[in-house]
């Protein structure tokens, strides 16, 4: 399937290397290019298909996958369109951007697609396994562009779901909350423990495991049914004590605790927590923030 029918992957960073690895394992990778010699050397140890670096090479494939930072995608697509024989289908992996972002720099007959794997990819070859069955947010500037995006998802064993241009920024903001937000929450949790007589790194690992288990429960049961803790129990006294514990660890940590607590009161409400407990929680959470405002 390689050669003119395979994919040429441009950019072998955190997302590009796992995607190229999955394509390579599926026999669907014709070649790859990345900007730096060091990244290319690392990729050569993983991929069977040829890996180039330096100036963008001429290539014969009709399917090109761009895995460079979002703000560089258009410039790289323009260089690809300049170097390749038409027609080509160029797919980018940005979640926030539409496929049609590329249309102005492509030529008549070319097509643009977007295929965003909803995964936190770190560049590890193990990530290639995670792509199997993964949700891919796909979009196209044309039927051919959408076909290419869906094909990319299928070639790495993923599951394509249409996320059209007008929905992509909201989709990606949601993804950032669910993924990047977890890192912010864990950073805040570590900050609150700092200085207290608690053993690291066992505690950090346990807190990350706790976050993973909570996400697991939310996936299986839904957020409203899965949520645990003092807010959904209506333990306003514990929440008041937490507010004292998080104070002094920075304004962002306290603001994060208050924001997540306020959202969890809505979850508790949806779960049917009694009005008296909801009012007590509002009073505790409102008291500190009102005196600050
Ligand atoms: N990481 C994720 O979890 C994830 C998940 C889904 C989608 N994505 C999407 O994948 C794309 C790449 O993200 P990433 O996380 O893989 O970024 P990354 O780890 O920073 O890798 C980006 C790659 O692009 C190359 N590059 C950087 N600037 C370039 C330029 N000006 N011209 C040509 N190549 C350039 C770099 O090549 P060298 O290393 O050779 O210099 C690098 O390998 C983004 O659109 C992102 O939204 C990422």
Segment 258-271, tens digit of pLDDT: 999 999 999 999 99
Three-state SS string over the chain comes to CCHHHCEEEECCCCCHHHHHHHHHHCCCEEEEEECCHHHHHHHHCCCCCCEEECCCCCCCCCEEEECCCHHHHHHHHHHHHHHCCCCCEEEECCCCCCHHHCHHHCCCCCEEEEEEECCCCCCCCCHHHHCCCCEEEEEECCHHHHHHHHHHHHHCCCEEEECCHHHHHHHHHHHHHHHHHHHHHHHHHHHHHCCCCCCCCHHHHHHHHHHHHHHHHHHHHCHHHHCCCHHHHCCHHHHHHHHHHHCCCCHHHHHHHHHHHHHHHHHHHHCCCCHHHHHHHHHHHHHHHHHHC
Q: What is the pLDDT of residue 30?
A: 97
pLDDT digits (tens, 9 = 90+) for 3-55: 567 999 999 999 999 999 999 999 999 999 999 999 999 999 999 999 999 99
pTM value is 0.93
Distance 124 CA to ligand 1 centre (A): 14
pLDDT digits (tens, 9 = 90+) for 162-194: 999 999 999 999 999 999 999 999 999 999 988
Distance 54 CA to ligand 1 centre (A): 16
Q: What is the pLDDT of residue 60?
A: 87
Distance 120 CA to ligand 1 centre (A): 13
- Ligand 1 mutation pick, 53, 57, 68, max ligand atoms within 8 A of CB: 68
* Residue with CA at minimum distance from ligand 1 atom 24: 68
Q: Percent of the chain having pLDDT more than 70? A: 96
Q: Percent of the chain having pLDDT more than 90? A: 87
* Residue 72 Cβ < 6 Å to ligand 1: yes
* Residue 61 Cβ < 6 Å to ligand 1: no
- CA 122 to ligand 1: nearest atom: 1
Please report the domains of the chain, with CATH numbers, ordered by start residue: 3-163 (3.40.50.720), 170-292 (1.10.1040)
Distance 123 CA to ligand 1 centre (A): 10
Q: What is the pLDDT of residue 4?
A: 66
pLDDT digits (tens, 9 = 90+) for 220-229: 999 999 999 9
**pLDDT confidence tier of residue 112, bands split at 50, 70 and 90:** very high
Q: What is the pLDDT of residue 288?
A: 58
Q: What is the pLDDT of residue 85?
A: 87
């Amino acid at each position: 399937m390689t050669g003119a029918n395979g994919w040429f992957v441009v950019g072998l960073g955190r997302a590009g290397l796992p995607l190229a690895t999955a394509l390579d394992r599926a026999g669907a990778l014709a070649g790859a290019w990345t900007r730096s010699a060091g990244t290319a050397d690392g990729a050569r140890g993983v991929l069977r298909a040829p890996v180039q670096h330096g100036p963008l090479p001429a290539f014969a494939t009709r399917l090109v996958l761009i895995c460079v930072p979002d703000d560089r995608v258009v410039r790289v697509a323009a260089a690809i369109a300049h170097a390749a024989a038409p027609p080509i289908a160029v797919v980018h992996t940005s979640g926030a951007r539409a496929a049609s972002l590329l249309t102005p720099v492509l030529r008549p007959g070319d097509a643009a697609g977007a295929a965003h794997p909803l995964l936190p990819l770190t560049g590890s070859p193990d990530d290639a396994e995670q792509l199997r069955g993964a949700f891919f947010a796909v979009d196209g500037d044309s039927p051919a562009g959408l076909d290419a995006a869906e094909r990319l998802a299928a070639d790495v064993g993923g599951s394509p779901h249409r996320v059209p241009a007008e929905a992509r920024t909201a989709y990606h903001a949601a993804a950032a909350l669910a993924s990047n937000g977890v890192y912010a929450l864990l950073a805040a949790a570590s900050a609150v423990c700092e200085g207290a007589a608690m053993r690291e790194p066992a505690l950090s690992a346990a807190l990350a495991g706790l976050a993973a288990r909570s996400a697991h429960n939310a996936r299986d049961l839904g957020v409203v049914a899965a949520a645990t803790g003092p807010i959904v129990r209506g333990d306003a006294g514990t929440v008041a004590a937490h507010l004292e514990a998080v104070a002094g660890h920075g304004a962002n940590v306290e603001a994060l605790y208050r924001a997540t607590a306020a959202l969890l009161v809505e979850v508790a409400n949806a779960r049917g927590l009694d009005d008296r407990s909801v009012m007590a929680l509002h009073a505790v959470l409102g008291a500190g923030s009102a005196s600050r405002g």
